[in-house]
Amino acid sequence: MKKLPGLILVLLCIAHSPLIAQDKLNLKYGKITPADFDLSKYKFDTSVSAVVIADVGESDFEGNTKSGISLTFKKQARIKILNKNGFEAANQFILLYFSNNNEEKLLNLKGTTYNLENGKVVETDMDKKSVFKEKYDKNHMIVRFTLPALAEGSIIEFSYTQTSDFIHNLQPWEFQGKYPVLWSQYEVTIPDFYNYVFLSQGTVKLDHTTSSSRKEFRISNSSSTTGSGSFTVPANTVRHKWVAQNCPALKTESFTTSIQNHISKIEFQLSQVRYPDQPVQDIMGNWEKLATDLMKSDYFGNGIVKSNGWLNDELQPVVLNVNDKLDKAKKIYSYVRDRFTCNGRRGIYLSESLRTIDKNKSGYVADINMLLIAMLKQQDIEAYPIILSTRSHGFTNEFYPLIDRFNYVICAAKVDDHIYFLDASDPTLGFNKLPGECYNGHARLILPGVAQSLYFSPDSLIEKKLTSVFLRSSKPGEIEGHFASNLGYYESIGIRTNIKSKGESSFFKSLQTGYSGDIALSKEKVDMLTEFEKPVKVEYDFVIKQEDDMVYFNPMMNEGYKGNYFKSAERFYPVEMPYCFDETYIFSMEVPQDYTLEEIPKSAKVNFGDGDGFFEYMIDKSGETVRLRSRVKLNRTTFMPEEYNDLREFFSYIVKKHAEPIVLKKKK
């Protein structure tokens, strides 16, 4: 009897033990106590709208009744809603893979919302009517569901099981996300039938442990007419367990290509199957095999290896009396770009046959550019597809032929030993110009049996801009000026798109409203709007009315840096700019006759890094004229986290300098 109080004490400690101890997790669905609502003992960014208390997953292999082995994936997550902005954490989705007549199954989906009312936990279960299933793409269904009875302070919880006969689809796991994660755990038990390549990334510290065991897989065929048809196959297995604690939320910052490039996660690629008493099957293959398969596919290269003589009648008037191959390529490119409508990206595969795409005069990016390749080849111009991943889609893997990492197709045309890169899906692009989104590093040019590596580096792009502003005073109270700007190529694309959509008058009206004070524009002009290979030039005259006794006039006008791109105090992943740039601004102003010049800013020059760029601000007064030359130049696009503070301070200095005014005082 004397031991009873000690036993009670132990039981009380178990009942009130925290969900997450220092090195283990005690997570049981539905076991929520009032104490679980208090997260004050945990350290996380309190500015967030929700926090993931625990996210736990497990993948295992089991024998099935289809004479094979299936995958089983289980997931359970518990999330605390901190404020109303966190309600979106209750909107969840699950992707289910399907191919032909086989599809993954979703089992035992359940969700519950817990609210603390008068010191008691009130549970509200998810209704089946809150679950929706729809087709996502050609190989995926998506199941969406929403947790009910949300309030600030709610805890939501959901779990499900996903079964799959697709051994290649071993579920990946993300240890980070939009919200902080206190505990993330993933377990995978792999039999020696299968060899997977593990692909991991991110900076979160992972605790990885392994253990080995022996398992028997019972396999049967429920449709067998010769008996049960069941048998047992033994195998050695390795259990992998990854645990990450206190993972910070991964926030999208300015100049990030894709947050997926930096999120801490692990993925799996099936490379070999080694069933007992059977030959080893190489699944992942290599780049050469991928190229061969792609060029044989009806949804990719099979249509362009043919002669496609049916295009002859259509192309004959396009290239009439054009003998030079380069000129012919330009004519065909312009024809496709100007007459075919792009319906979106969609991926690297054709949505229809080339004949259907040509007939409809519309299609996705891959459709239009593969048709362009077919047309060029029909005119005896060498042309090949290039597959790549756009910046927002994430990086590709240079070492493994992971086809799902690619989402875009462009054309490579070879004329006189020179290769031109073409994208006819964008109506604003010139010949041998690509969208900035395509400059995402590694890509592959596809030939039968050859997947040649190419690199589209944003460092190869230099966005040059030259702006000049000249001001003079013709009469008291007014300053006349002329503005001229030769824009960079990608800024020009934006202006072409803007003007095509809203018109020139709307474009100049928005420019005028961007100025402070009383200003009127006249003689507006935009040159090179339809010369797609060249940048746009914008010009206009303006009149500023000025009557104040003291005038603080910003010589940068509307062209200065008004805010720092980099506002966060720290950054955990690289800054990825879309291109290098070289911006020059020239300003000349005759001091108005009814004013005296009281003050001008000081000149300055700041270098960034070891030849990586600079900022210069050179200003002087000669007689009654003030002259300024500002130049900002960066020679590379990617900056590591350890360079972030220097980059932030560099732009902070530019913003400060560009805000400095010329001070004028009215004569008495």
Distance, CA of 161 to CA of 173 (rounded, Å): 15
Nearest to 538 by CA among 529, 527, 547: 527
pLDDT (tens digit per residue) in 388-400: 999 999 999 999 9
- 227 pLDDT above the threshold of 80: no
CA–CA separation, 348 and 230 (whole Å)? 42
pLDDT digits (tens, 9 = 90+) for 562-594: 999 998 888 888 999 999 999 999 999 999 988
Q: Which of 158-167, 282-291, 535-544 is predicted with the least confidence, judged by mean pLDDT?
A: 282-291
Q: Taking 90 as the threshold, does the pLDDT of residue 12 lie above it?
A: no
Which residues are within 8 A (CB) of 249 and not within 5 positions of it... i.e. 6 or more apart? 45, 48, 176, 177, 178, 179, 180
Task: Record the tokens describing residue 191, joined without a space.
Answer: 């039999």
Nearest-5° Cα angle at 38, 36 to 42: 100
More confident residue, 277 or 378: 378
Residue 519 clears pLDDT 80, i.e. is over it: yes
* 3 has pLDDT over 50: no
pLDDT for position 122? 96
Averaged pLDDT for residues 158-170 = 95
**CA distance linking residue 134 with residue 143, whole number of Å:** 7
% the chain with pLDDT above 70: 95
Q: Note the pLDDT of residue 572.
A: 84
**pLDDT of residue 611 exceeding 80:** yes
Q: What is the average pLDDT value for the chain, to the nearest integer?
A: 92
Which residues sit opposite 527 in a β-bridge?
Answer: 537
Q: What is the pLDDT of residue 345?
A: 86
CA dist., res. 467 & res. 210, Å (int): 62
Angle at 128 between CA 123 and CA 132, to 5 degrees: 125
> What domains does the chain contain, in order, with CATH numbers?
25-282 (2.60.40.3140), 287-456 (3.10.620.30), 463-666 (2.60.120.1130)
Tell me the pLDDT tens digit for each residue of 76-116.
Answer: 999 999 999 999 999 999 999 998 889 999 999 999 999 99
Across 631-641, average pLDDT: 96
Whether 453 and 386 have beta carbons less than 8 Å apart is answered as no
Rounded CA separation 433/430 (Å): 5
pLDDT-wise least confident of 60-69, 74-83, 162-171: 60-69
Span 466-494, pLDDT tens digits: 999 999 987 888 899 999 999 999 999 99
The band of 231, judged by pLDDT with boundaries at 50, 70 and 90, is confident
Instruction: Report residue 110 as tokens.
Output: 């359940």
Angle, CA of 479, 480 and 485, to the nearest 5°: 125
